[in-house]
Amino acid sequence: MTMRPKQMAAKFKISASTIRNYEAIGLIPPAERSSNGYRIYTDQHEAYLSCIQAMAPAFGMEVTAEVLRCLHRGKPNDAMWIIRGKEVVLFEEKEKLDKLIQDIRIYANENKSAYAEKAFNINEASKLTQAPKSAIRYWEQMGYVRADRDPDNRYRQFNESHLLKIRLIQTLQSSVYSEDTVHFRQAIVAAEHTDLQGILNVAENIRTYLDKVIESQLCGISYLHHLIQFGKDSIFDGVRIIQPNQNEHDD
């Protein structure tokens, strides 16, 4: 099957210029050319575009591009290992979030913590949460967390509830940008560190979101697998001209 640019664009509900841009930056193979120089797209291009649209929401466009370029270089195994690494990161984030939710519930319901009455400076807060000091300062500047101040020296002071909120902010650091992640960040800003129930609600909503992300990742992986199998069943060796012609045109 072959398609002209406008036909392929309509099929994927994108513009023909977007497809040409994907071609220019190496996300899809170069288009074949008809006798009069018009671009012609094939089943292979359709497989690539399907993979992009399935993978980008789950893994982000940067990772998707890296994976597809691995395929162009004839290194499908490298592409698969990149994706497996992202799956591992998501699993680790889920595990950390599950532990955070458990800790918030304990702290909120029983008000028990080994550090409940203790104030931490930024060095201690960084060590306990494994968040860089620069990140904590930035999050404070952005309003995600509002540290208390030592009345004598005005140094930042963090208590256990501050640390819980810092850990919550960290759960979104590797997430693909989306309307959902923007909403979660806004919810974190709006939640006071003393409002543990509010923080818990945000954490539980993010946990539900991660379940959707893993499903989206599996969908993207299925399209990647199809594309890899497609590559095994066909040989691509650059631009194959259907009928050579000196004149080149675009739709």
pLDDT for position 241: 31
Cβ atoms of 55 and 241 closer than 8 Å: no
Q: ∠66-71-74 over CA atoms, to 5°?
A: 130
Residues 6+ apart with CB under 8 A from 5: 16, 19, 20, 31, 39, 41, 250, 251
- Regarding whether 158 and 50 lie in a shared domain, the answer is no
Tell me, yes or no, whether 98 and 201 share the same domain. yes
For residues 39 and 128, state if they share a domain. no
Q: What is the pLDDT of residues 57-99, one digit of tens each?
A: 999 999 999 999 999 888 999 999 999 999 999 999 999 999 9
Domain membership of residue 251 (yes or no) is no
Q: What is the pLDDT of residue 38?
A: 86
Q: So what's the pLDDT on residue 237?
A: 42
**227 inside domain:** yes
Give me the pLDDT at residue 154, please: 86
Residue 189: is it exposed, middle or buried by C-beta count within 10 angstroms (0-12/13-18/19+)? middle
How much is the pLDDT for 251? Answer: 55
Question: What is the rounded distance in angstroms from the CA atom of residue 27 to the CA atom of residue 96?
Answer: 34
User: What is the per-residue pLDDT for 140?
Assistant: 92
Instruction: Flag whether 106 is in a domain.
Output: yes
Same domain, 66 and 126: no
Q: What is the pLDDT of residue 111?
A: 62
242 in any annotated domain:
no
pLDDT number for residue 183: 95
Report the predicted TM-score, pTM, of the whole model to 2 decimal places: 0.81
Whether residue 122 sits in one domain with residue 66? no
The domain that holds 124 is classified in CATH as: 1.10.1660.10
In a domain, 11, yes or no: yes
Q: Are residues 61 and 170 in the same domain?
A: no
Query: Do 183 and 126 share a structural domain?
Result: yes
30 and 102 in a common domain: no
The domain total for the chain is 2
**Same-domain check for residues 73 and 21:** yes
Specify if 145 maps to a domain: yes
Extract the residue ranges of the chain whose pLDDT is less than 50: 114-115, 235-248
Task: Please indicate, yes or no, if residue 246 is contained in any of the structural domains.
Answer: no
Q: Do 174 and 225 fall into the same domain?
A: no
DSSP state of 176: P
Residues 209 and 90 both lie in one domain: yes
Q: What is the pLDDT of residue 234?
A: 57
User: Is residue 241 situated within a structural domain?
Assistant: no
Quote the domain boundaries for residue 136: 86-213
- 51 and 160 inside one domain: no
Q: What is the dihedral of CA 47, 48, 54, 60, to 10 degrees?
A: 170
